[in-house]
Amino acid sequence: MDTITAAIITQVVLPIVATIVTAIIGWAAAQARARWGIEIEARQREALHQALMTGAQLALARLGPQASQSALTAAAVEYAQGSVPGAMAGLRPASSTLHDLALAKISALIK
């Protein structure tokens, strides 16, 4: 009777338990990756916005509020690209998006 029970446990129960444990580990790993990925993206987004704001302030200080919008936004974007290259690489924002964000920050500072 002991050998039959051991054979059943070895051939049936253990593979089922191993499959369940593997599924739980896979699910937990996916949850951790999703959570950390979202947190990393949020930090990159915040860093990009901060760099664009600093770039906008610097552009206004160097070029003055009378400078053209394109010159101001280009200066702000250039600063942000040099300041947070990791966020730029992680988020890969379109050039037009960067210029729009910079323009919004500059407009907020001028008002």
pTM score of the predicted model:
0.69
- Ordered by start, the domain boundaries in the chain are 2-110
Q: What is the mean pLDDT of the chain?
A: 88
Q: Which residue matches tokens 């979202």?
A: 38
> How far, in Å, CA of 49 to CA of 58, rounded?
14
Whether 36 has a pLDDT exceeding 70, the answer reads yes
Q: Name the DSSP letter for residue 67.
A: S
Specify whether the CB–CB gap between 74 and 96 falls below 8 A: no
Q: What is the pLDDT of residues 21-31, one digit of tens each?
A: 788 888 887 88
What integer pLDDT is reported at residue 97 of this predicted model? 94
| Sign of the C-alpha dihedral computed for residues 47, 109, 78 and 62 taken in this order | negative
The backbone torsions φ and ψ at residue 32, rounded to the nearest 5 degrees and listed phi first, read: -65, -45
Rg of the Cα atoms in the chain: 27
